[in-house]
Copies of this chain bind each other. A is one copy, B any other.
Amino acid sequence: MTASLTSGRPLGVAAIGYAFMGKAHSNAWRNVASFFDVPAFEQKVLVGRDALAVAEAAAKYGWAESATDWRSVISRDDIDIVDICAPGWMHAEIALEALAAGKHVLVEKPLANTLEEAELMASAAASARGRGVQSMIGFNYRRVPALALARELIAEGRLGTVRHVRAAYLQDWLSDVETPMSWRLRKETAGSGALGDIASHAIDQVQHLTGQTVTEVTGTLRTFVAERPGAAGLEKVTVDDAAWATLGLTGGVSASVEASRVATGQKNSLKIEIYGSLGSLTFDLENLNELGFLDATVPVREQGFRRILVNEPEHPYAAAWWPQGHIIGWEHTFTHQIRDFLLAVRDGSEPSPSFDDGLQIQRVLAAVEESARNRSTVTEVRERVAVS
């Protein structure tokens, strides 16, 4: 953002959505400047459909105003950044309009519910970027300090040649057959189930950590609880409860990805294991301050997985917070995300992950669905375009 655009005033921020993600993003906006040096900004307006509820949320979460019409907010001159926390089916429409209006856009994952929408968004983002307008997708786990450290170690060659990755994102909030029907369990509103919601995070990590891109996909989907109680009796669940995929990547890495919302007892466990010729890494989101690291170049006699508590000033993002050993929580990843987004806006550099990254994930997700449907491997994932 050039100075002329904002005439030296603080950046004006609007957020759309005040549910789970809106709460998490608001928390990040409210706190980021207390811990990081970021350009000046103001939490201008929080947007939601229910006027009373959004007004209350705005007051609670630190926004100066609330509004119900996102279009009119986007058109305001004092708004420079639009943070889209609305459900996936609304992403494309809002993002396209915001980018067209010259607003920097941060959008929650997944980029969109369909490949077509995702392609439109990536295209619009590329065009907007030519005009100095930035965009970013919220794969916030890239900002877990332990995973950021993992990426550094891999990039430095500490693992040697990475051979295979095991990634699983396990939750259990659908284990109970009495858990009722919701928009998240219908294909038309949610796009997919565990696949788009959480496997997407795992797939993003596989690519981000290795620096490679998925080219081949063999996938399987399952819905274990086919019907759930809805307003009008039992309704059919039309998305997956669990997903499996075996991935081939550009640089020769193989990866297994598994996602489940019926993994009883696993609350929010994104487990990642990365095996290289010279070392390995392990991670679990339920203990997100820790990174397991095995350095196979030390003598065998003293080799073993280390539990690195990623809270030292030497670690990514950690110096901003508390002294060593004073752990941070899940929400801090959003604060890091806002920080990096704001710096990119200030510097005019492209934020990462981009809408293109988001589109690539969508292609992988679509390939998993196609593979599961056809019961065969999908190759040439990168070249895939939406069926028009």
Q: A interface vs B, CB < 8 Å?
A: 20, 24, 26-27, 30-31, 33-34, 60-62, 149, 153, 159, 163-164, 166, 168, 171-173, 175-177, 218, 220, 222, 224, 241-242, 244, 246, 252, 254, 256, 258, 260, 262-269, 273, 275-280, 285-289, 291, 293-296, 299-309, 311-312, 314-315, 321-332, 374-377
Contact = CB atoms under 8 A, between A and B. Distances in A.
Contacts of A266: 275, 280, 325
Contacts of A263: 164, 273, 275, 280
A288 B327 contact: yes
A268 B311 CA distance: 10
A279 B305 contact: no
B242 A171 contact: no
21 contacts: A30-B34, A33-B60, A34-B61, A159-B264, A164-B260, A164-B262, A171-B325, A220-B246, A242-B254, A263-B280, A264-B294, A265-B279, A265-B304, A266-B325, A291-B304, A300-B312, A301-B308, A302-B308, A304-B308, A307-B307, A322-B331
Contacts of A171: 325
A222 B254 contact: yes
A18 to B, nearest CB: 12
A256 B41 CA distance: 48
Nearest to A312: B300
Nearest to A57: B34
Nearest to A222: B254
A280 B265 contact: yes
Contacts of A244: 246, 254, 256
Contacts of A268: 323-327
A166 B258 contact: yes
Given A218-B218, A256-B256, A294-B265, A173 B60 contact: no
A299 to B, nearest CB: 7
A166 B164 contact: no
Given A61-B34, A254-B244, A302-B308, A275 B264 contact: yes
B27 A31 contact: yes
Nearest first, the 6 closest Cβ-Cβ pairs linking A and B are: A267-B325, A268-B325, A304-B306, A265-B294, A329-B329, A304-B308
Contacts of A260: 164, 275
Given A34-B61, A34-B62, A304-B293, A311 B267 contact: yes
Given A220-B246, A286-B309, A301 B149 contact: yes
Nearest to A177: B277
Contacts of A293: 302, 304
Contacts of A26: 34
A376 B301 CA distance: 43
A181 to B, nearest CB: 18
